[in-house]
Chains A and B, each alone.
Chain A
Amino acid sequence: MIDLDQRRAVGEPIHDAAPTGDIRTLWDDHLLDLKLVNPANRRRFKVIVVGTGLAGAGAAATLSELGYQVEAFTLHDAPRRAHSVAAQGGINAAKAYKADGDSVDRLFRDTVKGGDFRSREADVHRLSEMSVRVIDHMTALGVPFAREYGGQIATRSFGGVQVSRTFYARGQTGQQLQIAGSQQLLKEVGAGRLTLHTRMEMLDLIVADGRAAGIVTRDMVTGEIRPHTAHAVVLATGGYGNVYFKSTLAKSSNVTATWRAHKRGALFGNPCFVQFHPTSLPVSNEWQSKTTLMSESLRNDGRVWVPKVAGDDRPPNDIPEDERDYYLERMYPSFGNLAPRDISSRAAKAQLDAGKGVGPLRNGVYLDFADAIARLGRKTMEERYGNLLDLYVDATGEDPYTAPMRIAPGPHFVMGGLWTDYNQMSNIPGLFVGGEASFNYHGANRLGANSLLSASVDGWFVLPWTVANYLAPRLGTEVPPDDHPDVEAAVSETRERVDALLAVQGTRGPDEYHKELGQLLMDHVGVERHADGLAKGMDAIRELRDDFWMNVQVVGHGQQLNQELERAGRIADYLELSELMALDALDRDESAGAHFRSEHQTEDGEALRDDDNWTSGSAWAPPGEDGRPIRRSEPLTFEAVPLATRSYK
């Protein structure tokens, strides 16, 4: 038996995270309650924004435009490189440009249901409302959204919904939104209103007198470690999906900023909710550095299958039709190959576990275009998917026009992140969080094309209002001086941690640890979890962490550009976060959305929620004196969208 109480404590529930009232007018009503800062007084406030992705760039540019003193930080060499740039598919908005029955309320409902009833209704409704403004704003900034021949903006339907509400700019939607955002940020830099720090990594949060009052950074070129103080801090530092080492995320994605804030007391929400994308490139050799995302749109015309018999090593085209198992079509006749991400990922994992994986490492399933090519012709396929298929040819040396492609589930998006209230403020006053770094919109599973949306909404249309509300009553307060004891302590603790990493002088590079940790997580906290595996995983992670601090080797010194040192710091934090991910997954004794506990499934193998006990979000406080992390629950209520069970049969 696993004694959960030995591993975690249970704290006070959280009750007042969102205002109550009619959900349709809640945000408007709330705006009236938010306090304002007189334009003349805004420059007396300094705000730090960490991260220049969609969320960070939007917040920083808008706050600067409004007249606040803003300092923006990114670990990249240019704001444009934030990982938002990699999103391909598109961004949802309830514009209802097609007469297909879409509306703000429908996007709201789809998002709540898609999240398997583990998100906050109030926040999701705001997300849907503001989606409309995001498209207006982004269009005005010059984003070349795809157009119809009549000149209107085109939309497509995406990710298992029946309406056409996804706006896109070729296969580069994220890039175009991100570039528009960073241009606005640079406009403020050019105007001399905003200070931008590039190649500057946040290594700690400064909490002075109980409030977020700044950050500690390391200059990645000179190694200088120093504090920056402010009246408020916004974290928009993205997701931690590459804790699994191989993922669809960029190599520098990390949890350090939010994890350090957590160590200073910020609650961490639902860390175990991770979305796996069913169509990423399987790993084919030891040195492959990531599982690049192949767009989901491929599933529109591809059929997913594996050989019926485990270990069938024949080339795919030699396997006759009746010896193939088109398992998605078989198991989910109405959605077939378009079954939602979590279901497709899990179904693929089940095939791999049954030994039916294909490819040199038996770690993929086939995505076959033969029927589509026969039906539509090769030329149409080239028009639809040419670039994607070329990318595949290039990465694998295989030709998807003549033999099926291989795909596999890969870690892609984290619904978990720092806990925030309706104002996107964490439990530490003055610490705001937006974009993938926060936790509040996507519940246990994110709807495709909703996260570019949440990052944009937070950055442009929520944080500028709510940060002002926090600042307004603090007019006349000073930021703490650099010799304030809390500031000094944060700086010296950061220095000590960096020195400690350099001092181990072991024999294994940080990447080796990252790879090993990634495998542990895939095995125990992956697409499918169960109690024994999670408990085992926690223990193994702890052992790996101990080993890291005895044997990690960081070549070079701290006063230089040292990418090994950067990696080591991020992996040290991953080694702590991942234990909490496993604990959260163990604690949440139900299946919900992307969190699938094999003990909790229906007869058909579907996720089985436990609404009586788990209609709640988990917000983790750092370990108390006894070393146990403390779980606090936020009860969730579903009034506008009544609790129901998903069915994709």
Chain B
Amino acid sequence: MRLSLVIWRQADATAAGDFERYELTDIAPEVSILELLDMLNAQLVAENRDPVAFDHDCREGICGSCGLMVNGQAHGPVDSTPACLQRARSFEDGDIVTMEPFRADAFPVIRDLVVDRSSLDRIIASGGYVSTATNAAPEALTMSVNKIESDVAMDHAACIGCGACVAACPNAAAQLFTGAKVAHLAQLPQGQVERYERVRSMVETMEEDFGSCTNFGECVPACPADIQLDVIALLNRDYARSMFRVSGDEEVRHKDRRDIPWLSRLRSGPWWQSDPDDQPHATS
């Protein structure tokens, strides 16, 4: 099979980019979209031309590194499949295949098809975890979890962090990604303690970088982990609830307590839990 690849080339973050067209022949139908790029790059290198930069790693659909727009679709023509597992057999002999980087303000282009998706990690860093100190966990069986609920948590936890949902969204919103993490942890007993602080903080961080969700639903078919819109419903519901919960106010009330010297001992806890720099240095 032969294909014409029309690929976005951009030397670096500041350069203006443009499309270039390349011809590929002798393509086996089971070759993946990333292997098409391997084939092209071997050809380019042989001609001493710059190969196409693209992110990839596991090549088996789990690391979330790969990601590009293929004929305007995130990851490629087949729904719910990452680029590394999309095959040339989706195309007809002689087709023109356009490849572009994921487009979103939150994903600046680094080079060619490589974009910077660290905005997704900023969302996680703002609350997408359970705070448990190492060595502090209780025996695992002390927490029973209903099998169905655990399976549902696993459905949400399957997100590979590729960012295709953002790229597919006309608003470049990250609700599906954020919702998947919020829903995963909200589904499990371990996630309850920080549930509302988590969602509030993650949504606020998300809104700094990403667009707003207006329920187009384009994200779902693009998602290789088959994350469903119900996570966005849960995200919105938990976020709304977090507004009504008093936990924020409690923090304020806690801080606003009158400063009665003899009581401060009871309120601040033992000295070794406060800022180590305030303490006399002891030798180890």
In the complex, the answer to whether B144 meets A151 with C-beta atoms within 8 Å is: yes
Interface residues of A in 141-198 (CB under 8 A from B): 141-142, 144-153, 169-170, 172, 174-176, 179, 182-184, 186-187, 189-190, 198
A300 at the interface (CB under 8 A from B): no
Q: Taking chain B's interface residues, is the majority helix, strand, or loop, or is none over half, making it mixed?
A: loop
Residues on A with beta carbons closer than 8 Å to the beta carbon of B153: 142, 144
Judging by beta carbons under 8 Å apart, are A144 and B188 in contact? yes
Annotate A350-368 by CB proximity to B: 1 below 8 A, 0 otherwise. Answer: 0000000000000000000
* Contact A65/B134 with A172-B158, A183-B124 known, Cβ cut-off 8 Å: yes
Task: Give the CA-CA distance A135 to B147 in the complex, in Å.
Answer: 18
Task: Give the number of A-B contacts (CB < 8 Å).
Answer: 242
Q: Please, which residues of chain B bring their CB within 8 A of the CB of A95? A: 140
Q: Are B111 and A186 neighbours in the complex by a CB distance under 8 Å?
A: no
Answer whether A78 and B59 are a contact pair too, CB < 8 Å, given A176-B157, A397-B29: no
Q: Could you say which of A83, A287, A512 contacts B35, with CB atoms under 8 Å apart?
A: A287
Residue A39, interface by CB 8 Å = yes
State in angstroms the CA–CA spacing of A86 and B59 once bound together: 10
CB neighbours of B252 from chain A (8 A)? none
By a beta-carbon cutoff of 8 Å, the part of chain B in contact with chain A is 11-12, 28-32, 34-35, 38-39, 42, 44-46, 48-51, 53, 55-60, 62-65, 85, 87, 89, 110-111, 114, 116-118, 120-121, 124-141, 143-147, 150-151, 153-154, 157-158, 160-161, 184-185, 188, 190-191, 272, 276-277, 279, 281-284
- Given known contacts A38-B282, A78-B121, A553 and B134 CB-to-CB distance under 8 angstroms: no
Q: In chain A, what residue has the closest Cβ to B48?
A: A555
A466 to chain B, nearest CB (A): 14
Q: A287 near B184 (CB under 8 angstroms)? A: no
A144-B184, A472-B284, A475-B283 known; A81-B145 Cβ under 8 A: no
Contacting pair A141 B132 (CB below 8 A): yes
The 8 closest A-B pairs by CB, nearest first: A151-B144, A190-B125, A140-B137, A183-B129, A40-B276, A509-B45, A186-B125, A139-B140
A221 at the interface (CB under 8 A from B): yes
Q: Are A136 and B284 CB-contacts (below 8 A) given A83-B57, A86-B60?
A: no
A649 within 8 A of B: no
Q: Are B282 and A40 in contact (CB under 8 A)?
A: yes
Residue of A35, A133, A396, A563 near B30 (CB, 8 A) is: A396
Cβ contacts under 8 Å, A509 to chain B: 42, 45-46
Please tell me the number of chain A residues within 8 Å of chain B, measured between CB atoms: 90
> Looking at the complex, which of A100-108, A271-279, A288-296 is the stretch in contact with chain B?
A288-296
Cα–Cα, bound, A422→B61 (Å): 36
Partner of B34, one of A40, A179, A289, A391: A289
Verify if A460 is at the interface (C-beta below 8 Å from B). yes
Residue of B nearest to A154 (CB): B147
Does B114 lie within 8 Å of A137, measured CB to CB? no
With a cutoff of 8 Å between Cβ atoms, the chain B residues found around residue A65 in the complex are 133-134
A43 within 8 Å of B (CB atoms): yes
Chain B residues, CB < 8 A from A472: 284
Write the nearest CB–CB distance from B87 to chain A, whole angstroms.
Answer: 7
Q: Is the Cβ of A561 less than 8 Å from the Cβ of B53?
A: yes
Q: A394-B87, A472-B284 are in contact. Are A43 and B276 (CB under 8 A)?
A: yes
- Complex-state Cα separation, A148 to B279, whole angstroms: 49
Interface pair B150/A142, CB less than 8 Å apart: no
A563 to B124 alpha-carbon distance, docked (Å): 28
State whether A142 touches B190 (Cβ < 8 A): yes
Per the bound structure, the CA–CA distance linking A58 and B141 in Å amounts to 22
A555 contacts B30, CB within 8 Å? no
Known: A179-B157, A221-B110, A461-B135. A83 touches B58 (CB 8 A): yes
B279 with A251: CB separation less than 8 A:
no
Q: For residue A133, which residues in chain B have a CB less than 8 angstroms away from its CB?
A: 135, 137
Are A394 and B134 CB-contacts (below 8 A) given A151-B145, A560-B12, A564-B45? no
Q: In whole angstroms, how far apart are the Cα atoms of A437 and B173 in the complex?
A: 38
Residue of B whose beta carbon sits closest to that of A188: B125
Least CB distance, A45 to chain B, in whole angstroms: 10
Could you list 11 further interchain pairs (A-B, Cβ under 8 angstroms) beyond the known A147-B145, A186-B124? A40-B279, A58-B134, A81-B63, A136-B140, A140-B190, A144-B150, A190-B126, A198-B118, A464-B134, A475-B283, A560-B111
Chain A residues within 8 Å of B184, by CB: 142, 144
Known contacts A137-B135, A142-B184, A148-B147; is A77 also within 8 Å of B129 by CB?
Answer: no
* A556 in contact (CB, < 8 A): yes
Residues from chain B with Cβ under 8 Å of A141 in the complex: 129-130, 132, 137, 190
Assembly CA distance A512 to B41 (angstroms): 12
Chain A residue at smallest Cβ distance from B124: A186
A547-572 at interface with B (beta carbon < 8 Å): 553, 555-556, 560-561, 563-564
18 A-B residue pairings within 8 Å (CB atoms): A40-B276, A76-B65, A78-B161, A83-B63, A85-B63, A86-B63, A136-B140, A141-B132, A141-B137, A142-B153, A151-B145, A176-B157, A287-B28, A287-B35, A288-B35, A293-B60, A461-B135, A464-B134
**Inside 8 A of B62's CB, which chain A residues have their CB?**
85-86, 172, 174-175
Q: In the assembly, what is the distance between CA of A213 and CA of B29, in Å?
A: 51
